[in-house]
Amino acid sequence: MQKTDEDLIAAHVQGDQKAFAELVNRYGKLLLGYLVRISGSREQAEDMFQETFLRVHSKATTFREGSKFKPWLFRIATNISIDGIRKSKRRPVTVPLEGHGDNPGAESDILPSRSPLPDDGAMASERKQIVQGAINALPTRQRAALVLSYYHGLTHKEIAEAMQCAPGTVKTHLSRALVALAKLLPDMEGETA
pLDDT in tens, 30-41: 999 999 888 878
The answer to whether the beta carbons of residues 59 and 76 sit under 8 Å apart is yes
Q: Which comes out higher in pLDDT, residue 6 or 103?
A: 6
- Secondary structure (DSSP) of 105-170: TGGGGTSPP----TTHHHHHHHHHHHHHHHHHHS-HHHHHHHIIIIIT---HHHHHHHHTS-HHHH
The whole-angstrom separation of Cα 49 and Cα 43 is 10
Nearest Cα residue to 94 out of 45, 52, 30:
45
Query: Is the pLDDT assigned to residue 125 strictly greater than 50?
Result: yes
- Domain hosting 90: range is 5-191
Q: At 108, is the pLDDT very low, low, confident or very high (cuts 50, 70, 90)? A: very low
Residue 189 confidence (pLDDT): 53
The answer to whether the beta carbons of residues 41 and 85 sit under 8 Å apart is no
Could you tell me if residue 39 is left (phi over 0), alpha (psi between -120 and 50 degrees) or otherwise beta? alpha
For residue 68, the domain's CATH number is 1.10.1740.10
Residue 182 confidence (pLDDT): 87
Query: Is the pLDDT assigned to residue 120 strictly greater than 80?
Result: no
The whole-angstrom separation of Cα 51 and Cα 6 is 20
The whole-angstrom separation of Cα 92 and Cα 77 is 17
Of 14-23, 76-85, 88-97, where does the model show the most confidence?
14-23
Query: Is the pLDDT assigned to residue 114 strictly greater than 80?
Result: no
Mean pLDDT, the chain, integer: 81
Query: Is the pLDDT assigned to residue 117 strictly greater than 70?
Result: no
Query: Is the pLDDT assigned to residue 92 strictly greater than 50?
Result: no
> Phi/psi at 100 (nearest 5 deg)?
-130, 150
Query: Is the pLDDT assigned to residue 128 strictly greater than 80?
Result: no
pLDDT tens across 171-190, in order? 999 999 999 988 888 776 54
Helix axes 17-39, 5-13, angle to 10 degrees: 120
Residue 102 confidence (pLDDT): 46
Residue 87 confidence (pLDDT): 77
The answer to whether the beta carbons of residues 168 and 159 sit under 8 Å apart is no
Residue 65 confidence (pLDDT): 85
Q: How many domains does the chain have?
A: 1
Q: At 104, is the pLDDT very low, low, confident or very high (cuts 50, 70, 90)? A: very low
The whole-angstrom separation of Cα 55 and Cα 51 is 6
Query: Is the pLDDT assigned to residue 85 strictly greater than 60?
Result: yes
Residue 77 confidence (pLDDT): 95
